[in-house]
Amino acid sequence: MISIVSTLKIALRALWVNKMRSSLTMLGIIIGVSAVIVMLAVGTGVSRKVSSQISSIGSNLIIIMPGSSTQGGVRMGGGSQSTLTVDDADAILRDCSAVAAIAPMQFGNAQAVFGNQNWSTGVQGTTPGILEVKDCGLSAGRNMNDQDLRSATKVCLLGQTVVDNLFGSMDPVGQIIRIKKIPFTVIGVLESKGQSLGGQDQDDTIIVPLSTAQKKLFGRTIPGLVRTIMVKARSTEELSVAERQITDLLRQRHRIGPNKEDDFTVMNLTQVLKMAEQTANIFALLLGAIASVSLLVGGIGIMNIMLVSVTERTREIGIRMAIGAKTWDIRIQFIIEALTLSLIGGILGIIIGSAGSFILSTFFDIPSVVSLLSVLVSFSFSGLVGIFFGFYPAYKASLLNPIDALRFE
Amino acid sequence: MSLIETRKLVKIYDVGEEGVHALEDVSVKIEKGEFVAIMGPSGSGKSTFMNIIGCLDQPTAGDYLLDGHKIGGLSRDELAAIRNRQIGFVFQGFNLLARTSALENVELPLLYNHVPAGERKRQSLDALKMLGLEGREHHHPNQLSGGQQQRVAIARALVNKAPILMADEPTGNLDTKTSVEIMELLVQLNNHSGTTIILVTHESDIAAFSKRIIRFLDGHVISDEKVSKT
């Protein structure tokens, strides 16, 4: 077989002679490969974003909210009924084996003041379990403890945003801030978690003991009732077990008859996020279907053009054969030509696809990440298409009879 | 031992029910260094004969020995190798590759003989120079006259140092003056380099440049005589 360099030169010349035809033939491959690149980029981007969000809101998270209440025929929506209590939370932690940690919560908005700075934010009254439930650590100070909870001490944990706004660069631990004019000692600072799925700043928060919140900050609520209970399951596998155990336990505790509706809602947040990921995957899969159809059509286009090319160049093939080209010399010449066509198409597709995914993530806020793997995969795939669809025309060319080929007009 | 020897060659083309008998029992011997013209009207079998001895086609029956070796039963690639190393072709229509420079056209046989690029270029330039085509190396066929194109084709046929040159109506597309030039070139080649030349033509004044004329009619050899030079 003659050298690849010489064959490549022959192929490039043949393609250059028919510039228009070559570029139109490449179009199918270009569209296919760029769709593959965008598809893989969106797929990776979304699943990365989802998994980072799962880890930021806390993994294996279940949220229990009170059910809806009805006032004079008007249904008030989820959470309007006050049915969940601190005792429910304690019972769940005690009786549900699949539950790892729990945090009953009461929250409201309040203004916090330090020195001449003030900042309005959400205040969450909860228990020490909140840090474990949310997979959140402390960047300074200590967590609240059971003692704080029992005696409703006026201590608080601050999110990073609150620290920035009230203290600037000063160390807040040990300082006293006023929340609703009541002095609280800052005992710790939460690790920064960034934005949530909905774009909320998760660092813009103050955490105080549940008992303190109920007695001193949001006095209007009946003591013992909570707005929500956040639960962490032991593992992803045990999420649904935990969900069932909680539902059974609460129905029993709330004395709900077999055919009555629950007076609470159990929500599995990880499931919600996983659904978002699935939606993204379906989108990616659709693009993938377009990509494979386009690659197939592109491949057939290459085959078609190569067949035309073989017929057009029958005489050239005859001359080459008369001069001493062997079967594989001819075969490789046409395969390399098809391969060059598809690989150039592949490279252009990779460039266009990468640009497309850049535009998607920059201007349309769709997370997309072009990975080296996806570039390699689509490049080699376009190569395979070229070889696969180039082989038959090349095979046909190589089997021509030299005299017939020479006489071909 | 003859360079070319055919024994009772038969070639039948499958056309319709009955085959067309292009060659019937053709036995010919050609020695090294000869300059043979094969003549005959169209359909006489002269081109078929040349295709078979040029290893472009296989006979239906009979034997063909090239340099003492039987050619029958060789594979396509073995035939290609023989064409590459032993036989140079010159065709009526020149058969140069379009959009390819004279130099690259001449390089082709060396390319398929795996000669390294540098050596390939050197030998091809030598061959072009020998045929008086210096300065035309990078011209494409459509930038060359008919005579020049045919010289490029001869250079291509000679570049691999093939001992046999087969020319099928090499002057068919040329004017009389150029035809004479090309024929003188072939005579010179035959005299100085000892290249065996087999020429197919239907023009007797072209055949007159050769040393021996074999006439074909209806697939048979009807005469085989030396040319008396005056």
Question: Within a domain: residue A347?
Answer: yes
Which residues, given as ranges, of chain A have pLDDT below 70?
Answer: 1-2, 54-58, 68-82, 195-199, 220-223, 270-271, 365
Q: For residue B119, which residues of chain A lie inside 8 Å, CB to CB?
A: none
A65 inside domain: no
Read off the CATH number of the domain in which B91 is found. Answer: 3.40.50.300
Give the pLDDT score at A70: 55
| Tens of pLDDT, residues B171-190 | 888 888 888 888 888 898 88
- Smallest CA–CA distance, residue B151 to chain A, in Å, is 16
Contact status, residue A225 vs residue A82, Cβ threshold 8 Å? yes
Give me the mean pLDDT over the B204-208 stretch. Answer: 88
Search chain B and give the residue with CA nearest A317: B97
A102/A203 same-domain check: yes
How many Å from the N-terminal Cα to the C-terminal Cα in chain B?
A: 30
Task: Answer yes or no: do B109 and A315 touch at CB < 8 A.
Answer: no
* B100 to A315: CB separation less than 8 angstroms, yes or no: no
Q: A297 burial class (0-12, 13-18, 19+ CB within 10 angstroms)? A: middle
Residue-wise pLDDT tens digits, B120-171 = 889 999 888 888 888 888 888 889 888 889 889 988 988 888 899 999 888 8
Q: In chain B, which residue's Cα lies nearest the Cα of A17? A: B99
- In a shared domain, residues A399 and A281: yes
Q: Are residues A134 and A165 in the same domain?
A: yes
**A interface test, pick of B23, B50, B83 with most A CB neighbours within 10 Å:** B83
- Total count of domains within chain A: 2
Residue B198 has pLDDT above 90, yes or no: yes
**pLDDT tens string A83-139:** 788 888 888 888 888 888 888 888 888 888 888 888 888 888 888 888 888 878 888
- Could you tell me the pLDDT band of residue B38, with boundaries at 50, 70 and 90? very high
Count of domains forming chain B = 1
Structural domain contains residue A329: yes
What per-residue confidence (pLDDT) applies to A64? Answer: 85
Are A130 and A167 within one domain?
Answer: yes
Mean pLDDT of chain B: 87
pLDDT value, residue A110: 86
Other residues' Cβ atoms within 10 Å of the Cβ of residue B166: 26
The minimum CA-CA distance between A389 and chain B, rounded to whole Å, is 24
CA distance A148 to A135: 21
What is the C-alpha radius of gyration for chain B, rounded to an integer number of angstroms?
18
Q: Do B77 and A320 touch (CB under 8 A)?
A: no
**In terms of domains, do A38 and A130 share one?**
no
pLDDT confidence of residue A247 = 86
Q: What is the pLDDT of residue A72?
A: 56
Task: Calculate how close chain A gets to B199, using CA atoms only, in Å.
Answer: 17
Select the residue from B104, B112, B160, B169 to test the A interface by mutation, using most A Cβ atoms within 10 A.
B112
Query: What is the distance between the alpha carbons of residues A53 and A47, in angstroms, rounded to a whole number?
Result: 10
Cα angle vertex A82, ends A78, A83, to 5°?
100
- Asked, for residue A74, whether it belongs to a domain, the answer is no
Q: Is residue A93 part of a domain?
A: yes
Which residue did the predictor score with more confidence, B199 or A260? B199
Give the per-residue SS3 of chain A.
CCCHHHHHHHHHHHHHHCHHHHHHHHHHHHHHHHHHHHHHHHHHHHHHHHHHHHHHHCCCEEEEEECCCEECCEECCCCCCCCCEHHHHHHHHHHCCCEEEEEEEEEEEEEEEECCEEEEEEEEEECCCHHHHCCCCEEEECCCCHHHHHHCCCEEEECHHHHHHHHCCCCCCCCEEEECCEEEEEEEEECCCCECCCCCECCCEEEEEHHHHHHHHCCCCCCCECCEEEEEECCCCCHHHHHHHHHHHHHHHCCCCCCCCCCEEEEEHHHHHHHHHHHHHHHHHHHHHHHHHHHHHHHHHHHHHHHHHHHHCHHHHHHHHHHCCCHHHHHHHHHHHHHHHHHHHHHHHHHHHHHHHHHHHHHCCCCCCCCHHHHHHHHHHHHHHHHHHHHHHHHHHHCCCHHHHHHCC
Range of the domain at B183: 4-226
Q: What is the pLDDT of residue A298?
A: 84
Contacts of B87 (CB under 8 A, 6+ apart): B54, B55, B162, B164, B165, B166
- Domain membership of residue A217 (yes or no) is yes
* Average pLDDT of the residues in B68-91: 88
3-class DSSP assignment, residue B92: coil
Q: Which residues of A touch B99 (CB under 8 A)?
A: 13, 17
Contact A324 B112 (CB under 8 A): yes
ipTM, two decimals: 0.90
Mean pLDDT across B47-60: 89
Whether residues A112 and A206 share a domain: the answer is yes
Tell me: do A175 and A231 sit in the same domain: yes
Shared-domain flag, residues A99 and A34: no
Token couple for A244: 């069932």
Q: What is the pLDDT of residue A220?
A: 61
Structural domain includes residue A77: no
Q: Contacts of residue A330 in chain B, CB cutoff 8 Å?
A: none
Q: Is residue A58 part of a domain?
A: no
Domain that holds residue A338: 4-53+275-407
Tell me, yes or no, whether A213 and A109 share the same domain.
yes
Shortest CA gap A404–chain B (Å): 10
Query: DSSP alpha helices (H): ranges in B194-230?
Result: 204-207
Q: Based on the domain organization, do A299 and A213 belong to the same domain?
A: no
Same domain? A346 vs A395: yes
Chain centroid, CA A17 distance in Å: 46
